[in-house]
Amino acid sequence: MSSSGAESPARNARNAPHENTNGDNAGCGDEQTVTPRRTPLPVRQLFILALMRFSEPISFCVIFPFVNQMIEEIGVTDDPKAVGYYSGLVEGIFAVAQFCTAWYLGSLSDRVGRRPVLIIGLCGVIISTILFGFSKSFSMMLISRMIGGGLSGNSGVIKSAVGEITDETNQGAAFAYLPLAWLIGSLVAPALGGLLSHPVERYPSIFHSFTLLERYPYLLPCLAGAILSSAGVIAGIFFLEETLASKRPGQDVHPEQRPLLSKPVGVQQTSYQTTPSCSSPASTNSDARPYSNREILTIPAVQGVLLSYAFMALVTVAVEAVFILWLYTPVSLGGLGFSSAEIGGALSLSGILGTMVAVIVFPPLERRVGATILFQIGMILQVVAIVAFPFGNALATSWGKRGAYISVGAILIVRCLAGIVFVCNMILINRSSPSPSALGAVNGLAQMVASASRAVGPGMAKKSCVGRELRVVGPWAHCLVGGCSSAQAPIRSPKVHVTDGFSRIGDSNPSLN
């Protein structure tokens, strides 16, 4: 299969004429304002990458509606108030394993290519999902999740691939499809988990003769998730083109053949109007060289974005974990007392709302105000969602189910608007990379940092809720609010400079946009 489809749109953008708003042909020494022509999205390759991204939340999120009930039925603990702690461990162990392998897989994709790493990772996620459905002990639950986490370094690799097939004119729109794919998966997976668990009891007329499903009541949703995830593997094997320039078959890679994003540029973004600065050939060659892991860690732009990502991941995953526990906890203890099916419906509604935000709201906002400002707004909205939990319980206590549904709907709207931080973060991470040759390593490092935060987030948040009524804004809320503030601090540092292309060592301009 020809690899031209992955490269030509971005290359055409570089060769296409630009509008010179000054009306002259100023030289390198003169500052000029130009408006780049919008590059068409590489639809086919972007769709395949989005499908592979869709496969991961199917397997990852399918357990959320029933994991608390599963822990109770297995007999891990006799204390209902401790269920949240153990479910937090199950959810967090995935991130622990991912932390151990993400940077390595990202660096590996810089050497062997994006395609093989993506396919192997998805296969691992599918296997781990099936094993989880067969789990009859807490240790088996943990082992199966560790397998999935250790082999699922796909997130960072997919982001690297998207960065390689896009340029600064279509990057925001392209990256919006990744959380869109995740949100659609988050819509489908909870529905599977909520509706297909305990199928023999729930649908006796269909599954009464399936003794395997009676013995393993959570196997069916896991099998369904694995089957859907296999679509990403099939598409990757037969249709995905390699995006790493050095691994495209039959291609002699020269600097002039690289996509526009792969060309180091000293450009500061203000919406889509840019002010270019001149780069010498020496600097271009220097930026094309390989970077060691130690060099990457010393770049201020990378440091700032990684710190922001760490705090953001900690906050968002902790809020997600407490949100699900809050839905499950009885009203008398500060929650809403939702069933597994109701939890699945709420999470699916979250996917619908998030899809609308990603497709309709984010792209024009990103073009107008930039990724950094939207990131800060999203973190503020996370604070609003955090402090709303006790008020939602008060509404459910006063108005019953109607109040519970109203409170969930309002919180879901706020949380979905806050979800713009994920797209903004993807853009900022790719722009912080010092070179195309370091893109996989930077994204892998970002995934590792996020995995560390996500590993401690669910257990930390739920542990602080053990023995407490969730109607009270406990210490965890103060920590999360502080995390929201901390996430914004590193990217506002005057030492951090991220350009439209890749970060440049030695730059001191504070603009991230």
Alpha carbon distances (Å) from 345 to 61, 266, 339, 362: 13, 47, 10, 24
Q: How confident is the model at residue 240 (pLDDT cuts 50, 70, 90)?
A: very high
Other beta carbons less than 10 A from residue 235's beta carbon? 19
Q: How confident is the model at residue 462 (pLDDT cuts 50, 70, 90)?
A: low
Residue 495: per-residue pLDDT: 47
Q: What predicted TM-score, i.e. pTM, was given to this entire model? A: 0.69
Residue 198: per-residue pLDDT: 93
- pLDDT greater at residue 504 or residue 406: 406
How large is the angle between the packed helices 401-418 and 340-356, nearest 10 degrees? Answer: 40
Give me the percent of the chain exceeding a pLDDT of 70.
73
Compute the distance between CA of residue 317 and CA of residue 130 in angstroms, rounded to an integer. Answer: 24
Determine the average pLDDT of the residues in 35-45: 81
- pLDDT greater at residue 136 or residue 362: 136
- Please check the confidence at residue 10 and state whether its pLDDT lies above 80: no
Compute the distance between CA of residue 503 and CA of residue 301 in angstroms, rounded to an integer. Answer: 7
Domains of the chain, earliest start first: 42-253+294-492 (1.20.1250.20)
The SS3 assignment for 343 reads helix
The tokens for 319 are: 């809020």
Compute the distance between CA of residue 69 and CA of residue 218 in angstroms, rounded to an integer. Answer: 10
Q: How confident is the model at residue 136 (pLDDT cuts 50, 70, 90)?
A: very high
Lowest mean pLDDT among 4-18, 30-44, 200-214: 4-18
Residue 460: per-residue pLDDT: 63
| Residues pairing with 274 in the sheet | 34, 269
Determine the average pLDDT of the residues in 328-345: 83
488-513: per-residue pLDDT in tens?
555 554 444 444 444 443 333 333 44
Determine the average pLDDT of the residues in 313-336: 80
CA atoms lying within 13 Å on the CB side of residue 503:
35
Lowest mean pLDDT among 230-244, 262-276, 478-492: 262-276
- Please check the confidence at residue 258 and state whether its pLDDT lies above 80: no
Residue 24: per-residue pLDDT: 44
Q: What's the chain's average pLDDT?
A: 75
Find the radius of gyration of the CA atoms of the chain: 23
Residue 437: per-residue pLDDT: 77
Q: How confident is the model at residue 259 (pLDDT cuts 50, 70, 90)?
A: very low
- Please check the confidence at residue 408 and state whether its pLDDT lies above 80: yes
- pLDDT greater at residue 90 or residue 179: 90
- pLDDT greater at residue 141 or residue 10: 141
Q: How confident is the model at residue 96 (pLDDT cuts 50, 70, 90)?
A: confident
Residue 253: per-residue pLDDT: 47
- Please check the confidence at residue 482 and state whether its pLDDT lies above 90: no
- Please check the confidence at residue 345 and state whether its pLDDT lies above 90: no
